[in-house]
Each structure stands twice: as structure tokens, then as C-alpha cells.
Structure 1
């Protein structure tokens, strides 16, 4: 292996997040993107009418249950990854729909 490749593989960013946190973030984004994919009309309607949480209450509840089953308590209790993923979806959709 050339030395330059060895060095690249060996170096990690100083601020690399723990794998369990990266996994929790990925899961949160995946759950939210699935909700957006399978409920496109409701997501858009909810964002346009500011009723996102009400229209998708069942899906949000299921998302929280799945996230709780798959993410350790110590991560869930000290982070907001799932909420952040929902906020990112809403912000992205607002931009797409040209909503302030």
C-alpha cells in the first residue's frame, strides 16, 4: 500500500462523532424520509397549513416508537436527532414550496 493511502486511512477527523451517534442520526433521517416519501400529499398539506404534526400524528408516533426501540436511552435522552430530522424536512419542504 502506498504511504499516502496508509496515512489517509489512519487519520480520522479530531471531531469524529461516536459510531452510535452517527447510526442514530442516520436512523432518524431514514425514518423521516420514509414518512415524507409515503405521505407526500399530507406532508405538503401540513406544511402549507401549519398542521404537519396533527396530520401526521400517527406516523410521528410510530417514528418515535421505532426510534426508541432502536436507539439506546443514553443517546435518546441527551440528543434531539429525530426532532432535528423532522425540522430539517419541514425547512427543506418550506423552501421547495416557497413558504416563508
Structure 2
């Protein structure tokens, strides 16, 4: 069994890797979600599955794990889609 991550910086890197995989395997949904401003509805299941995977890989008492995962979503999925035409920009 893999060792659980207890360092917030490493946990953030893990979150970014997980979100990167979600974005990679769901490129069409990301594009559509940005264009239609409903990315969290379109990718809700995938994001929740990624969040659960993230939680399973970190120590239970890590401070603000949801904040780290949400930041990774913004950094990896949202910011990198900035070139997509959207009403949210």
C-alpha cells in the first residue's frame, strides 16, 4: 500500500496530477463546460471521483484538503482553458 501524503505542498501536487488526468480524459467536456459555463455540472461525477481518490491518498487530518483540490481544479482545468470562448471571461 502506498504511503499517505502528509505534506500540503505534495498533496497539492497530487491534486493537480489527478485534475490533470480528469481534464486530459475529458477534453470535450471541459471545452463544452467552459463554453457553456456548466463545467461543474458536466464533470461533476468525474470531479467527485477524483476528489475521493485524492482523499484516499492523503492523511485524514491534512488541513483544508478540499481547498487544495479546488485550487487544483482552477489552476489546471479552468485557467488552462482561458483561450476557449466563454461568457465567463
Whole-angstrom distance in 1 between the partners of 2:70 and 2:18: 11
Report the equivalent of 1:85. 72
Q: Report if the CA contact (8 A) 2:35-2:85 is conserved.
A: no
More helix by share: 1
Residue 27 of structure 1 and its aligned partner are, at CA, apart by: 0.7
- Mapping 1:46-61, distance limit 5 Å: 46-61=33-48
Q: Unaligned stretches of 5+ in structure 2?
A: 1-5
Q: Which has the larger Rg?
A: 1
Q: How far, CA to CA, are the matches of 2:41 and 2:85 in structure 1?
A: 22
Q: CA deviation at 1:57?
A: 1.1
The count of residues paired between Structure 1 and Structure 2 equals 80
* Deviant stretches of 4+, over 3 Å: none
C-alpha deviation, 1:98, in angstroms: 4.6
The CA RMSD over aligned residues, in Å, is: 1.6
Aligned positions of 1:13-52 closer than 5 A: 20-52=7-39
CA distance in 2, matches of 1:29, 1:36: 10
